[in-house]
Structure 1
Amino acid sequence: MSPAEAAIRIEELTRELNEYNYQYYVLAKPTISDYNFDQKLKELEELERLFPQFLDPDSPTQKVGGDITQRFNTVRHRWPMLSLSNTYSEQELRDFDERVRKAIGDDFEYVCELKFDGLSISLTYENGVLKQAVTRGDGIQGDEVTANVRTIKSIPNRLKVSGYPDLFEIRGEIFMHRAAFERLNNERIENGEMPYANPRNFAAGTIKLQDSAEVARRPLDCFLYFLYSDKRNRLFDNHWESLQAVKSWGFPVCEHTARCASIDEVLTFVNTWEQGRHGLSYDIDGIVIKVNDYGQQEELGFTAKSPRWAISYKYKAEQVETLLQSVSYQVGRTGAVTPVANLAPVLLAGTTVKRASLHNANEIERLDLHIGDTVYVEKGGEIIPKVMGVNLTKRPPEAQRIVYPVVCPEPECGTPLVRKTGEAVHYCPNDEGCPPQIVGRMQHFISRKAMDIEGMGNETIETLFKQGLLHNITDIYALKHHRETLVKLERFGQKSIENMLAGIEKSKDKPFEKVLFALGIRYVGETIAKKLALHFKNVDALAAASKMEIESVYEIGERIAESVTEYFANTVHREQLERLKQHGLQLAITEQVSERRGDSLAGKTFVISGVFEQYSREELTALIESYGGKLLSSISAKLDYLVAGDKMGPAKLAKAEKLGIPIISEAALLELMAHTD
């Protein structure tokens, strides 16, 4: 390769790898496998070695991860969070062992640990109290996410024993167990939201939420595995001793860790967990091997990017070939149509796989799938197996190309599908006539986190729908008039009927936010329903609100606002809400009489926007009202004050300035409250 060709290839690889790093570390949406990424990185390293004149200090070979997201404070790491060199073969592990032996001799041992597929985190403790939590970021500086990390139950906020340094950092991996991932992802799908691809992405997305209360509702876990302190070498001689100590201090340390006296013992550990990983409740993607002794670690030192005393052995995602027999299409309660590959049964990662996700029409087109194709199926970090590609050498000559349906696949519907600009998913718009949508919405309505109707389950809904007793959610409250019909149905005894009707009656006491969530409006999950309920107070105000007014609510985006306005614009939905009112459901917040603190804000109107230091938006709302002020949902000429916090939207600011509305800070608002005439 000539220098000119090398320069072009180095520039090309640098651009690709930087983009992959951004997608993985910042967006938490990887678009390339670890193996393919590492092969590209090795190619770049080799080219930079052969042509050092083109080595850029900002090359991916000299950096860890990607850029820093701007949503959190950026904190510089006291000790850089370097990444490990990766290997995928026994020979490369033996080569690593040989390099270590040449540097420090034969008298040493390794510590082997599972390599967790999660989000790297660094925790700082002062006098036994958690003071700061920072993500890896680019290895030099990361995002400060202390408030969110404090919500993780396995991480101690205060140590209850003694023996630790006054100041230390401990590093580890935040992750999500597969069972929790499946449950939460199913809830996202039910709410019409895009599911996460794997637990790592879900954990990464969760830890970067700005609402720590929402983080607390998602069951994250953590394993910690490395201690940093100025006093570390005085307290411990090696890494193994420090692991035992931090475990005794109350930190979660993975039990599947071993000391190995030779590279052969290391390889036994690696091979044991290649199959054993499938029996874990969480994902691992390899094994980390570290030289145990701290003095020997210091002697071995570091490269610009990684320690010379440690290496990561990465498992390749398990992949098998099988036959694509057919493609079926599932219609969800929001109308989303999801294609599923039906496969000839095949053993993969310890389980028999018969179905695999195809995601959407774009994926089918990208793979150029044909019925009868031999496909590659993978289950790496993905919970649901995924079709990765096609073995074209085995494609039958008569194989028919898969054509995505243009009408709803439900036989009793057949409505033309729609696909909104910018969205990958096709939807059936016949929400009041498509059976899977009708049944799905009623099943969502009665679910535990919605109306929580005891004595009524998914099978009951299906049965009553087929019998013509249920057509929509309002019919649930009319079932008490059909006792004679109910007792004639199979498996409907008198006692079970009375329990069900009692559960239906009891659900009428559910608060407005639960009812709003139960309606099943696309993109309106539990948290969004609560925010809308608190802001608009009752369903009539919400139904009458414009898209702009809804979008002005904190953390409500354009997509959600559009979905809500579309829902209430539908006359069928309006009629159903009127019937729910007649049945006695709570469609307004029960106002609590707040303590009146004064009249300093009497007659004044306010809009709150942004993030504040001393109070939450809800607390500021309550304070304003307790001093006689009134909150408006949007900026207009009638507004007296815009209370501006950090990260306020530029559109609101521009509109307020254009109308000449006073823009005040949180501190200025508190001064207004304290002022009495």
Structure 2
Amino acid sequence: MTSPDGVSDELSERRGRHAELTELVEQANWRYHVLDSPTVSDAQYDAWMRELRAIEDEFPELRTPDSPTQKIGAPISTDFAAVSHLQRMESLDNAFNAADLVAWQVRAEGLVEAEPGPYLCELKIDGLAIALVYEKGRLVRAATRGDGSTGEDVTPNVRTVRGVPDRLTGDDFPDLVEVRGEVFLPVAGFEKLNEQIMDAGRPAFANPRNAAAGSLRQKDPRITARRPLQMIVHGVGKWQGAAPPKTQSEMYDRLRSFGLPVSDLYRVVHGLIEVQAFVDYYNEHRHDPAYEIDGVVVKVDRIDVQRQLGSTSKFPRWAIAFKYPPEEVNTKLRDIHVGVGRTGRVTPYAVMEPVVVAGSTVERATLHNASEVVRKGVLIGDTIVLRKAGDVIPEIVGPVIDLRDGTERAFVMPTHCPECGTELAYEREGDADLRCPNTRFCLAQLRERIFFAAGRKAFDIEGLGYVAATALTQPLPPHDVNPPVRTEADLFDLTMDRLLPIRSIVRDQDTGQPKTDRETGEQKEVSFFATKAGAPSKNAEKMLEQLAKAKIQPLWRVLVALSIRHVGPPTAQALADEFRSLDAIANATEEELAAVDGIGAGVAAAIIDWFAVDWHRDIVTRWKAAGVRMEDEPPADRGPQTLEGLTFVVTGTLAAYTRDEAAAAITTRGGKVTASVSKKTSFLIAGENAGSKHDKATKLGVPILEEAAFQTLLTEGPEAVSPPAEPAEEADGPEAVSPPAEPAEEADGPEAVSPPAEPAADSPTGLTEE
């Protein structure tokens, strides 16, 4: 018997059974290998697999590569493939005071015939935005927000998140629905997780949001499953197949009835007075919820009015985020120490009594240079005001002068390097920063350079963090013999035999001095690369494995890892694209280097100076001998080169991209990314706090694209965008209230106008340079 489409009834029946068994087996695999909570016996699982194989033996066309019978091992990893959202995930405009809320309401009133209210007020969770797609009630995909149009497929990991149903409940859910929400770590779960991580000797997460993002993007979902992640749904994208609710609040009721996690901490109100009351209440009680919040989201409740209001190129007009100001707290300034960075810059930093600010414990904050200490007017022993700039970077605002009792003392900048004893000096007249000129032999600089070379912007060597870099670069006890790594040249010559004898001196976090055993008086030591039994540790094995993989990194990463002054990722990529090999760069003249877009005379001179040093050239020679790739392959076909011939500068903070990801999106389409704005720049891509590059682009008439326009450029090409019009008087956002960041003196590319990254959690000082 054959069906109308030519398929036998028997095959059709067996195909249905095959699909049913496949789902049963995959669910069983998931619960067993990832969730550690099996729901079927081994015998039942084996019976399903036998039946699957029998069907495939009878009908070989069903034996596809994605059949459970063809998969090796358990489904425990994800490659984070790029996927398109069914509807674009928009960001929200911001309000910072009552006047901003009034302006938002007035704009809305001018676009609709009736009063836009009532309004729904809900807490703005400081988490990771996620879109879930359910088809016929079954979860088929979960993706990160990404660029709003395209995100990363994290479905296996999201399946492990508590409260996220694999199947919707009830019988009135739509055939297709894309729901949006935030994945987060509750504060209590975050604190417990950090305790576990620190007990295991690993660095703690900086804050709950970072912990949530890191947990969700694990390549092994079993790790994600062990983290106490939760999710709250707060919106809907695509809705197809059932009558949608008429209000946002009714939508929440429906979503809750489907078994989706919806917050109870929202309220429907009828005017801005009630909106402001809700905002004010949670500003005073922002730590009452079980999770971190950074504001309140206000939405027009009626969905028909939402549709009338529509969206700008960037934001929905029917919603706005009221952002709370950074928290400020008082604490005691215990002392001011100095740290030495990879380029020799000596930076004062504050050591404070630990205090919780914006949800995380802070005990260190950079003071940049001696002049900054004087400018802020802080004395050692002061009670100081501390805040987190943008709820991220710890910043000392100033002293509480009225609390001084006369015991305070001024900070005195040291005259010699605290680690190698070399006299400090300014590199050039007029410099703000003192430096240690002992570049070759200062162990502090070497440690920082090794840590930097292993970082994500360079070789990206997992397992070579700050603790490992310290262990590799400090003299070996007990007789202070030479460290295992005396220069970057030694990095790729490391072997297990060289790692196992390494024992690190345990040092006090505040003073940096060696700790001693109370009974014996001897210095405390710890073995970093060997177990107590003397066998190789997992740290050692992972580091050597990652070092081997690092040898095939692209040329631009090698350039960054060399720590050439002013050569960060954008400059390195421009050089690699132009010269294709390290030898060609080393042999280029200053004029040839300066001719590369975005390089200029200053960077060219720094490159020439670097290669003029014999021990620098030795690094290159030995890395090459160890098998590090020193040239790029000819560019392969990377798809349509829609941006070929165009030059870009990326600056500020983008919501959907890191600056490296934005640069990669441009270069894969044939465009060039440079570090500085000039008349040759085709477009400036400007995120929040764009700073001086935005000003220069405006002065030179360079077209400036905000993130939404950047997305259009990537998807539709340069002809789809045009220079933005002058901002309307009603425009508002963080750039309207934040001064542009001062460019770092020696930072390269976008780093010059963005705050430094969160300090490395396992750094003894808690601070990193540049």
TM-score by length of 2: 0.44
Q: Give 1 or 2: higher helix fraction.
A: 1
Instruction: Give the alignment's TM-score, normalised by structure 1.
Output: 0.49
